[in-house]
Chain A
Amino acid sequence: MSGRMTFGMVDALERVTARIRFSQDSSVPGMLHAAIVRSTVPHGRLRRVDTSGAWTVPGVVAVVTAADLSRIPNLRPVYGPQIEDQPVLAHERVRYVGDMVALVAAESARAAREAAARVVVEYDPLPAVFDPIEALRPDAPLIHELRPEELHRGHAVYFGLRPIFGTNCCHHFRLYTGDVERGFAEADLVLEETFHVPAAQHVAMEPHAALAYWDDGRLVVISGTQTPFNTRQILAQLFGLAPEQVRVIVPPMGGSFGCKVFPRIEPQVAVLSYLTDRPVKLVLDRYEEFVTLTRHATIVTIRLGLTRDGRITAKRVLAYWNTGAYADCGPDVARKGGFGSVGPYRIPHVAVDSYCVYTNLPPAGAFRGYAVTEVVWASERMMDIAADALGLDPLEFRLRNVLHDGEQFATGETLHDVHFQECLEAVARALDWAQGSRERSSEGRLRAKGLAVVMKGMTTPSRSEARVGVDRTGQVTVYSSTVELGQGARTVLAQLAAEPLGLPPTAVHLIDPDTDRTPFDNRTTSSRSTYMMGNAIRQAAEQLAARLRELAAERLEVAPDDLELKPGAVCVRGVPERCVSWSELVTATGYEELQEHAIFRNEGGLDPETGHGIASSHWHQGAAGAEVEVDPETGQVRVLRLHAAVYAGRVVNQLMAALQNEGSMIMGLGSALFEELVYDAGQSLTTNLSDYLIPSFLDLPTTLSHDLLECPGAEVHGLGETALPPVPAAIGNAVARAIGARLTALPLTPERVLRALRAAQEEAP
């Protein structure tokens, strides 16, 4: 196996010379620029939208409110991937600060923004709710009126949607196994704690950018999106078109981390383009990024039943996901976080209720780690609290309960290729775990270590398709809808196509996602692409190699088995001069290009009532460990060492894998220490990098390292996220140990750490 490939990105030269074109760099002749008028109140009735001021700005071509949408025949002005609850433009009512009220198109971006600022909107404020638990109370204002008879299921909901009608809960996920009450009765000790994770921002360096134009009744959208086919489907439904009448082209992105999953601004540019009959481009500014999509603020309560010898008898979880004003993929986040909250442990009695709840805050959706960062914080902090209560070493306590190959998860599925123990042990080794836990440095700082383990599902069921072709010049081309967002998809997929054909990856031409040219793929999310799309591409490339061999066998009059593939030619084994070029073989068929198509699927799904079934066709597994130093005077946390161990199955590209792990850990470090979106009565107080910090060079731990665990013959496991979710919990466990306090809320700001430390000192005898 070529498992140690370490070459760099196939498009590296484009990147260091900035010749790479992101979606924000797209342009077409005659295009207009758009800007959005956004709500300034968290919940209100729209009394009046006065657009007259906007028209006074030179260069303004269109000012569009919800009323103007009726000029588009067949438009269904509401959309959403899982629940169709989001209007193209707010009509009658706004639901959060940042909600889209009107659109402007102008000859320049400057004019569009200027004009948008001159639109005057008057509101009648409505009672608003911001906390998911308050939003579930019977007297809470209803943000959407979902009804069973007209539940607008989005096309991207692949599981049983269970809203609690008449409340703000848009999905209730349940997972019940055994009998928790019996489990607690059997326990020697029952512990309960509530944990909080704040909303967070992706801060992709490149903002959302989309360009739309209409071409003879067809809609063309160029957009940085992780979901080309979902976006095509949603746009088609919006305009009453067949999906084939919509074309979505996806240039590489300057980062995404989940914020470009499902349509964000594509419907709006498409509407503006229709109404102006001109191409329209929109690039969001940073304030808009902060109100466009967030990570769910989450409240998780865990009750754990334990025996004195350190076994878990029962686990009860209540999780509340603050999904903001529109559901987006929140129902799936509540679902994945629901089964994720159980953790990789042997627990006979489990009951999970996970609620996705509307509030008057910006919508929350996909975020790298997808629900698992939140539940790992709760579940793995709880494991340390339990270990302390039992007087057990946290590593030892985990190892007593962790799942092994062939054991059943709470969903009833039998797990295979299980490596949680190895991941934990690798982290313990890297941190010299056995050597003392809590110490005081010469400057009076408190030092300790902590660790955490992660079990993360991959979207199941799903499908990836790929085509690999060779043309009359012998050029090999891969047609794939996996998007490039900085993870190195172009490189890894070119590599997987090149291997069966005996080519260097740089010899393979890759077509970027374009729904007119590249075949169907579920989406580039869930760390699924290297495995799912990789398998489709490898299979298509193998089929192509076999076909070339068959054609050459006829031509050279030998058995296919006696032939071998060389770059650009097929030769008789051991007779290097008896060859026929791919170019000749393709030309002889009369086709311009010989193509092979392959489909790769994973199967499964959960029963919506019990949560039983196959949650994930295979599992992303990892662990992280941290050594921290806390200044007891200031509460400042310094991470000295951070290590992650991730199960890769088989590493496809060592370099890309390392970058994914390092990037995930650094993102986790930000979540652990400072990333937090703050709102006051629905108004965002964190609207740019001045108020919302992300890790810089100066935040790097003294040592940042990782292990990639492999197994001969194992399946490739995606690596895009696994090292992130255990990092905040590992750091939190280390800080809690260092200061001897119960920490339950992220991030671990100096203020929060200091308060916990003071509280612990007051409690101490």
Chain B
Amino acid sequence: MGQLVRLIVNGEYHDVLVSCDETLLETLRDRLGLTSVRETCSIGICGACTVLVDGRPVSSCLLLTSLADDVPVTTLEGLTAPEGTLHPVQEAFLAQQAFQCSYCTPGMILSVVALLAENPNPSPEEAATYLAGNLCRCGSYLRILAAVQDAAQRMHQAATGKPTR
């Protein structure tokens, strides 16, 4: 027994037969081999499995794959352009070395992408509040906050051709 679901992941179509209780995390990681989608708590608290569903950050461990039918899903793999050009948020994480073990990094980067889409110029307090659902056990938080500011600047500059602030 299963359900045929059409997934749109990083711009590519995948028709997958899933059981009704299969989570998007399982489908992306185990069937599509997208290892950037990482499981830690499995109950929607840690943010490690965050993906963008229609542009919004979602814990993929809590979303049934059947509910992601025909909706664009972005994982970290989808942020990097085919020729390897990094997304400005990835560039900022790289420049600020905003990680240690980097297990939480994909979820963190996608949440920052979503944050900057909603609020292109967040204060550190706004960023901390928005990102409170993404945990980093290594404690790279200060550098991640620096990366948010860096990314905001890069994206502003890319959009306007002018540096901000």
Q: Is the CB of A17 within 8 A of B90?
A: yes
CB distance from B40 to the nearest CB of A (A): 5
A698 at the interface (CB under 8 A from B): yes
CB distance from B39 to the nearest CB of A (A): 8
Residues of A within 8 A of B94 (CB): 8, 12-13, 16
In the complex, chain A residues 13-35 whose Cβ is within 8 Å of any chain B Cβ? 13, 15-18, 20-22, 24-25
B123 at the interface (CB under 8 A from A): no
Stretch of B9-17, B64-72, B128-136, B155-163 lying at the A interface:
B128-136
Q: Is the CB of A689 within 8 A of B140?
A: no
Residues of B within 8 A of A694 (CB): 135, 137
Residues of A within 8 A of B134 (CB): 697
- Whether A17 contacts B86 in the complex (CB less than 8 A), given A257-B137, A697-B128, A697-B141, comes out as yes
Residues of B within 8 A of A695 (CB): 139, 141
A655 to B97, CA, bound (A): 8
Q: Is the CB of B90 within 8 A of A16?
A: yes
Q: Is the CB of A659 within 8 A of B141?
A: no
A206 to B37, CA, bound (A): 12
Residues of B within 8 A of A16 (CB): 86, 90, 93-94, 99, 102, 105, 109
CB distance from B28 to the nearest CB of A (A): 12
Residue pairs across A and B with Cβ atoms less than 8 A apart, 19 shown, are A15-B105, A16-B99, A18-B36, A21-B35, A24-B38, A204-B101, A205-B135, A207-B40, A254-B102, A486-B101, A486-B102, A486-B138, A488-B100, A659-B140, A662-B141, A667-B139, A690-B45, A695-B141, A696-B132
A8's nearest neighbour on chain B, judged by CB, is B97
In the complex, per-residue mask of B138-156: 1 if CB is within 8 Å of any chain A CB, else 0: 1111111100000000000
A614 at the interface (CB under 8 A from B): no
CB distance from A238 to the nearest CB of B (A): 29
CB distance from A49 to the nearest CB of B (A): 27
A225 at the interface (CB under 8 A from B): no
Residue from A24, A252, A663 in contact with B140 in the complex, judged by beta carbons closer than 8 Å = A663
Residues of B within 8 A of A252 (CB): 101
A36 at the interface (CB under 8 A from B): no
A587 at the interface (CB under 8 A from B): no
A108's nearest neighbour on chain B, judged by CB, is B30
In the complex, per-residue mask of A81-123: 1 if CB is within 8 Å of any chain B CB, else 0: 0000000000000000000000000000110000000000000
CB distance from B123 to the nearest CB of A (A): 13
| Chain B residues within CB distance 8 Å of chain A | 26, 30, 35-36, 38-43, 45-46, 48, 76-77, 80, 86, 90, 93-94, 97, 99-106, 109, 127-129, 131-145
Q: Is the CB of B103 within 8 A of A255?
A: yes
Residues of B within 8 A of A325 (CB): none
A286 to B137, CA, bound (A): 14
Q: Is the CB of A663 within 8 A of B35?
A: no
A688 at the interface (CB under 8 A from B): yes
B contacts with A: majority SS? loop
A666's nearest neighbour on chain B, judged by CB, is B139
A283's nearest neighbour on chain B, judged by CB, is B39
Residues of A within 8 A of B30 (CB): 109
Q: Is the CB of A698 within 8 A of B90?
A: no
A697 to B132, CA, bound (A): 5
In the complex, chain A residues 682-703 whose Cβ is within 8 Å of any chain B Cβ? 688-690, 694-698, 700
A663's nearest neighbour on chain B, judged by CB, is B139
CB distance from B49 to the nearest CB of A (A): 11
A688 to B40, CA, bound (A): 10
A689 to B141, CA, bound (A): 18
Q: Is the CB of A659 within 8 A of B128?
A: no
Residues of A within 8 A of B99 (CB): 12, 15-16, 486
Q: Is the CB of A486 within 8 A of B100?
A: yes
CB distance from A367 to the nearest CB of B (A): 13
A694 to B45, CA, bound (A): 11
Q: Is the CB of A697 within 8 A of B137?
A: no
Residues of B within 8 A of A690 (CB): 41, 43, 45
Interface centre among B36, B105, B137, B145 (most CB of A within 10 A): B137
A126 to B137, CA, bound (A): 38
Q: Is the CB of B109 within 8 A of A689?
A: no
Residues of A within 8 A of B129 (CB): 697-698
Residues of A within 8 A of B137 (CB): 202-205, 255, 257, 667, 694
A541 at the interface (CB under 8 A from B): no
Q: Is the CB of A662 within 8 A of B135?
A: no
Residue from A17, A18, A662, A688 in contact with B139 in the complex, judged by beta carbons closer than 8 Å = A662
A66 at the interface (CB under 8 A from B): no
A421 at the interface (CB under 8 A from B): no
Residues of B within 8 A of A9 (CB): 97
CB distance from B99 to the nearest CB of A (A): 6
Q: Is the CB of A205 within 8 A of B101?
A: yes
Q: Is the CB of A659 within 8 A of B43?
A: no
A390 at the interface (CB under 8 A from B): no
Q: Is the CB of A285 within 8 A of B101?
A: no
CB distance from B70 to the nearest CB of A (A): 25
5 additional A-B pairs beyond A204-B137, A206-B101, beta carbons within 8 Å, are A21-B35, A285-B42, A286-B41, A286-B43, A662-B139
- Whether A663 contacts B138 in the complex (CB less than 8 A), given A255-B103, A698-B128, A698-B129, comes out as yes
A665's nearest neighbour on chain B, judged by CB, is B139
A653 to B101, CA, bound (A): 16
A704 at the interface (CB under 8 A from B): yes
